[in-house]
Amino acid sequence: MLCIILVIAISGTTRSGTAAEQTAGVDSKVYPNAVVAADHPLASAAGIAILKAGGNVVDAAVATSFALSVLRPASCGLGGGGFMVIWDAEQQKSMVIDYRERAPAAATPDMYSRLPGTDAQRQLASRQGPLAVAVPCNVAGLCYAVKEYGKLDLKTVMQPAILMARRGVPINDHMRSVQKSMLARMKQGKLDQKEFQPLIDEYLNHGKPWEEKARFFSPQLKVLELIAENGRAGFYEGPVADAIVATCGKQGGGILTLQDLKDTEPIIRKPLTTSFDGYQILTMPPPSSGGIAIIESFNMIDALEKQVLKHPFADLKFHSPQELHYLTEVMKHAFADRAEYLGDADFVPVPLERLTDPKYASRLAARIDAKQTKKLKDYGRYIPPKDSGTSHLSVMDAAGNAVACTETINLTFGSYVVIPKYGIVMNNEMDDFAAIPGKPNAFGLLQSKANEIEPGKKPLSSMSPTIAVKDGKAVFSAGASGGPRIISSTLQVMLNMIIFGMEPEQAVESPRIHHQWVPEDLLLEQVLYKQAGEQLKQFGHTIKKSSSLAATQAVSRQSDGLRGHSDTRKHGAAAGY
Ligand code: DON
């Protein structure tokens, strides 16, 4: 019976094109029971199939995640890591599973800066190839989630992903555009054909554009089956672990060891919380920087309402230059503190309480000038630097349980390292550290000593899965992919739903802005650039047009039912029942 539900929901059997394919994009519906919003329609469908088969929101999130490793191999998957925020409405309990990758035991702060070669070559080493790989924790996190918080067994929960790998999946527009840009990189010599042959063969159709009706067969079928059969041992021990170490260990030019893999465990944490506009916000603590930045931002907006504006923030016209200016100033303060103070709190002291204290936010808000942006040093507690591929899914059910889960292998196709025989795409999360002190990372983020490399430490992340709870039940859940833009887009989507009263579709599709303090650019999506760009210059901002700022997935629960929306910026679609 279960198998029949899964087959019908995931692949369809009698029609050309799958069931979920045909409903893709139709996600402004209201569902009575549950909703999943992932950045691929078939991944959302996988979560719903598992809920229909008797699973809970955690089972659904894990099924969706494993499906994403097949469907979005450039963004996330077995070779990466992630964060899962859970609200259990029955037990009135929240928890966080931190399955972010760690630096291997042999990593050192100067492992990139002491390499021979040019600056550019050193910088590349934390982004491409085996040395860029941090110890993957995705599989350990997902197995733990099902065992501790799920209702079904791992094998059942993994069935949708295994079916998709076995039967192949249609290639959608997002996969085509990723392939196009990767092939362009290959032509420009930025993706070494010889070194990354397995990536080109297994994921880029041997370097040839996909044909019109082509299907993608994930090379990870075998490893998915091994995990379904043996749990985490199917990945961290035995032939898969040996293959990972042969490629990313000493022999392959990296530093990963069997012991690193064996020692990999997720960490259970308490979410960060604040109250905002009558909601309890639950978000991600360190090693994410996103939760702190989002709480700091909510607190600043609250303080602006009370002290400066003397009226609700929402009374500023939505997307008016004045509203966008305030939002930008809030982001600049939050990102300045990110740069200075944040790292893995298990390794360095992070002034968490002070940064999330509403009194601190009040002091920052009081420094915001309504008419003019300021100099870099005026943001956060700025101290001059000493020298100094992601996927989000949201799940919610009618009882008010929710999961917000963001996973990543960092940049598109991570380190470009693909494990032969098993097709695992390895992350390049080492670049999320301040890999070369004083130099910005791939996202242009300047970071301090708090985020320098240490053995076993987790690189600071921007992933910000966030849930808003009212009267003991989850009402909104959101998160994003897109590096530091995750923080600003999650904040805006949450504000859109909480204070501007939007449904997920409008909240997600509305154009967005982004400012990360350094560089001093205010990025505006096309519509806002046209609409408010000239006026924002009057506030002193340097404005830049941006084609697409992050991809967000959001869900909501209102009195008439559940809604979800997956960002069309990444061709996703929600599903529900
Ligand atoms: O954890 C982080 O902050 C990054 N590894 C996220 C990377 C990302 O979102 C890539 N997406 N475009």
φ, ψ of residue 71 to 5 degrees: the values are: -90, -30
Rounded average pLDDT over 377-403: 79
Side-chain half-sphere exposure of 345, counting CA atoms within 13 A: 15
Asked if residue 82 has its Cβ within 6 Å of ligand 1, the reply is: no
The whole-angstrom separation of Cα 197 and Cα 92 is 49
- Which segment of 8-12, 89-93, 111-115 scores lowest on mean pLDDT? 8-12
Asked if residue 461 has its Cβ within 6 Å of ligand 1, the reply is: yes
**In 3D, which of 463, 464, 462, 466 has the Cα closest to residue 555?**
466
Domain boundaries, the chain: 269-387+464-563
Residue nearest to atom 11 of ligand 1 (CA): 482
Token pair 């350990």 is found at 140
The CATH code of the domain at 269-387+464-563 is: 1.10.246.130
Residue 441's pLDDT is what? 86
How would you write 68-119 as a 3-class SS string?
HHHHCCCCCCCCCEEEEEEEECCCCEEEEEEECCECCCCCCCCCCCCCCCCH
| Both tokens assigned to 291 | 């939760």
CA distances from 478 to 40, 50, 247, 345, 467 (A): 15, 21, 36, 24, 7
Asked if residue 179 has its Cβ within 6 Å of ligand 1, the reply is: no
User: What are 202-252's pLDDT values in tens digits?
Assistant: 999 999 999 888 999 999 999 999 999 999 999 999 999 999 999 999 999
Residue 387's pLDDT is what? 30
The angle subtended at Cα 24 by Cα 557 and Cα 463, nearest 5°, is 60
The whole-angstrom separation of Cα 166 and Cα 363 is 56
Asked if residue 483 has its Cβ within 6 Å of ligand 1, the reply is: yes
Residue nearest to atom 5 of ligand 1 (CA): 410
CB 467 within 8 A of CB 173: no
pLDDT at 100 exceeding the cut of 80: yes
CB 518 within 8 A of CB 361: no
Rounded average pLDDT over 475-483: 96
Q: What is the pLDDT confidence band of residue 28, given thresholds at 50, 70 and 90? A: low
Edge-to-edge order in the sheet of strand 93-99: 267-269, 93-99, 81-88, 402-408, 390-397, 34-38, 573-576
Q: Which of 390, 406, 466, 552 is catalytic?
A: 390
Asked if residue 401 has its Cβ within 6 Å of ligand 1, the reply is: no
Q: Where are the beta strands (DSSP E) in 160-311?
A: 169-170, 215-216, 267-269, 272-276, 279-283
CB 31 within 8 A of CB 559: no
Residue nearest to atom 8 of ligand 1 (CA): 483
CB 65 within 8 A of CB 40: no
pLDDT at 26 exceeding the cut of 50: no
Q: Which has the higher per-residue pLDDT, 308 or 65?
A: 65
Please choose from 408, 464, 516 the residue to mutate so as to test ligand 1's pocket, defined by most ligand atoms within 8 A of CB: 408
**In 3D, which of 361, 369, 397 has the Cα closest to residue 477?**
397
- In the DSSP assignment, the letter for residue 198 is H
Token pair 């110890």 is found at 135
Residue 251's pLDDT is what? 95
| Both tokens assigned to 396 | 């919610």
**In 3D, which of 519, 468, 474, 530 has the Cα closest to residue 493?**
468
How would you write 516-551 as a 3-class SS string?
CCCCCCEEEEHHHHHHHHHHHHCCCCCEEEECCCCE
Residue 10's pLDDT is what? 53
pLDDT at 400 exceeding the cut of 50: yes
Asked if residue 432 has its Cβ within 6 Å of ligand 1, the reply is: yes
Q: How many CB atoms lie within 10 A of CB 118?
A: 9
Please choose from 294, 338, 410, 458 the residue to mutate so as to test ligand 1's pocket, defined by most ligand atoms within 8 A of CB: 410
The whole-angstrom separation of Cα 422 and Cα 419 is 6
Provide DSSP, 222-240. HHHHHHHHHTTHHHHSHHH
φ, ψ of residue 108 to 5 degrees: the values are: -135, 160
The whole-angstrom separation of Cα 449 and Cα 102 is 17
The whole-angstrom separation of Cα 407 and Cα 101 is 10
Q: Which atom of ligand 1 is nearest to the CA of 484?
A: 3
Asked if residue 427 has its Cβ within 6 Å of ligand 1, the reply is: no
Say if strands 267-269 and 215-216 run parallel, antiparallel, or are unpaired. Answer: unpaired
Q: What are all long-range contacts of 13-22, with beta carbons under 8 Å and residues at least 24 apart?
A: 17/170, 18/42, 18/170, 19/45, 20/44, 20/45, 20/573, 20/575, 21/170
The string over 315-351, giving b where at least 16 C-beta atoms fall within 10 Å of a residue's C-beta and e elsewhere, is ebeebebbbbbbbbbbbbbbbbbbbbbbbbbebbebb
Please choose from 99, 427, 463 the residue to mutate so as to test ligand 1's pocket, defined by most ligand atoms within 8 A of CB: 463
Asked if residue 141 has its Cβ within 6 Å of ligand 1, the reply is: no
Asked if residue 549 has its Cβ within 6 Å of ligand 1, the reply is: no
pLDDT cut 70: percent of the chain above it: 94
| Both tokens assigned to 86 | 């859970």
**In 3D, which of 477, 486, 466, 489 has the Cα closest to residue 37?**
477
pLDDT cut 90: percent of the chain above it: 86
pLDDT at 319 exceeding the cut of 70: yes
pLDDT at 277 exceeding the cut of 90: yes
- CA 340 vs. chain centroid, Å, equals 22
Instruction: Compute the mean pLDDT over every residue in the chain, rounded to the nearest whole number.
Output: 92
Residue 437's pLDDT is what? 84
Q: Which has the higher per-residue pLDDT, 24 or 524?
A: 524
Asked if residue 286 has its Cβ within 6 Å of ligand 1, the reply is: no
Rounded average pLDDT over 164-173: 95
Residue 384's pLDDT is what? 39
Ligand 1 center–CA 432 separation, angstroms: 8
328 is catalytic: no
pLDDT at 12 exceeding the cut of 50: no
Residue nearest to atom 2 of ligand 1 (CA): 461
Rounded average pLDDT over 551-559: 96
Ligand 1 center–CA 128 separation, angstroms: 15
Q: Which atom of ligand 1 is nearest to the CA of 409?
A: 5
Asked if residue 390 has its Cβ within 6 Å of ligand 1, the reply is: yes
Asked if residue 459 has its Cβ within 6 Å of ligand 1, the reply is: no
Residue 390's pLDDT is what? 93
- Which segment of 155-169, 205-219, 382-396 scores lowest on mean pLDDT? 382-396
Residue 210's pLDDT is what? 92
Q: List, in sequence order, every residue forming a beta bridge with 82; answer none if it has no partner.
A: 99, 407
Q: Which atom of ligand 1 is nearest to the CA of 480?
A: 9
Ligand 1 center–CA 293 separation, angstroms: 15
The whole-angstrom separation of Cα 523 and Cα 508 is 17
Asked if residue 462 has its Cβ within 6 Å of ligand 1, the reply is: yes
Residue 383's pLDDT is what? 46
pLDDT at 395 exceeding the cut of 90: yes
Q: What is the pLDDT confidence band of residue 4, given thresholds at 50, 70 and 90? A: low
Q: What is the pLDDT confidence band of residue 380, given thresholds at 50, 70 and 90? A: confident
Ligand 1 center–CA 302 separation, angstroms: 28
pLDDT at 308 exceeding the cut of 50: yes
Ligand 1 center–CA 168 separation, angstroms: 27
User: What are 182-191's pLDDT values in tens digits?
Assistant: 999 999 999 9
User: What are 490-520's pLDDT values in tens digits?
Assistant: 999 999 999 999 999 999 999 999 999 989 9
Q: How many CB atoms lie within 10 A of CB 314?
A: 17
Give 3-state DSSP helix, strand, coil % of the chain, rounded to 5.
Answer: 40, 20, 40
Residue nearest to atom 12 of ligand 1 (CA): 482
Q: What is the pLDDT confidence band of residue 6, given thresholds at 50, 70 and 90? A: low
